[in-house]
Chains A and B, each alone.
Chain A
Amino acid sequence: MSEILLQVQGLGVTYASARGKVKALEGLDARLHRGEFLAVLGPSGCGKSTLLKLVAGLLRPSAGRVTLAGEPINGPRPDVGIVFQQPTLLPWQSTLNNVLLPIRTLRRDLAQGRRRALELLQLVGLETFANHYPGELSGGMQQRVGIARGLVHDPALLLMDEPFAALDAMTREHMMLELQRIWMATCKSIVFITHSIPEAVFLADRIVVLSARPGRTIRELSIDLPRPRTVATMGEPRFNSICNELRSLFTELVHFN
Chain B
Amino acid sequence: MSEHAKAVFYPIITLIALLALWVVAIRVFKVPNFVVPTPEAVVSSLRRGYIDGLFWKHFLFTLQSTVFGYALGCSLAFLLGCAFAESKTIERLFYPYVVALQSMPKVALAPLIIVWFGFEMTSKVVMVVLVCFFPMFINTVVGLRQTNPALLDLMHAFSASRWEILLRIKIPSAAGHIFAGLQIAVVLGLIGAVVAEFVSSTRGLGYLINAAAVNLETDVMFAALISLSVLGISGSFVIRMLHGRIVFWDKGTATRTEDVAE
- Mark interface residues in A76-108 (1 if CB within 8 Å of B CB, else 0): 111010101110101110000000011011100
CB contact under 8 A between A84 and B159, given known A90-B169, A135-B249? no
- Tell me the bound Cα distance from A232 to B247 in angstroms: 46
Could you say which residues of chain B place their CB within 8 Å of the CB of A56?
Answer: 153, 157
Query: Residues on A close to B: CB < 8 A?
Result: 53, 56-58, 76-78, 80, 82, 84-86, 88, 90-92, 101-102, 104-106, 133-135, 153
Query: Residues on B close to A: CB < 8 A?
Result: 148, 150-151, 153-161, 164, 168-169, 172, 175, 247-250
Q: Which residue of A lies closest to B246 (CB)?
A: A92
Q: Which residue of A lies closest to B155 (CB)?
A: A105
- Tell me the bound Cα distance from A91 to B176 in angstroms: 12
Known contacts A76-B156, A101-B168; 6 additional CB pairs below 8 A are A58-B153, A76-B158, A84-B150, A86-B150, A91-B250, A105-B160
On whether the beta carbons of A78 and B172 are closer than 8 Å, the reply is no
- Tell me the bound Cα distance from A53 to B154 in angstroms: 10
On whether the beta carbons of B250 and A105 are closer than 8 Å, the reply is no
On whether the beta carbons of B164 and A105 are closer than 8 Å, the reply is yes
On whether the beta carbons of B172 and A58 are closer than 8 Å, the reply is no
Could you say which residues of chain A place their CB within 8 Å of the CB of B159?
Answer: 76-78, 105-106
Q: A234 → chain B, closest Cβ, in Å? A: 30
Q: A79 → chain B, closest Cβ, in Å? A: 11
Could you say which residues of chain B place their CB within 8 Å of the CB of A105?
Answer: 155, 158-161, 164
- Tell me the bound Cα distance from A77 to B159 in angstroms: 7
- Tell me the bound Cα distance from A113 to B36 in angstroms: 70
Q: A1 → chain B, closest Cβ, in Å? A: 28
Could you say which residues of chain A place their CB within 8 Å of the CB of B248?
Answer: 92
Q: Which residue of A lies closest to B151 (CB)?
A: A88
Could you say which residues of chain A place their CB within 8 Å of the CB of B151?
Answer: 88, 90
Most buried by B among A53, A84, A105, A153: A105
Q: A193 → chain B, closest Cβ, in Å? A: 14
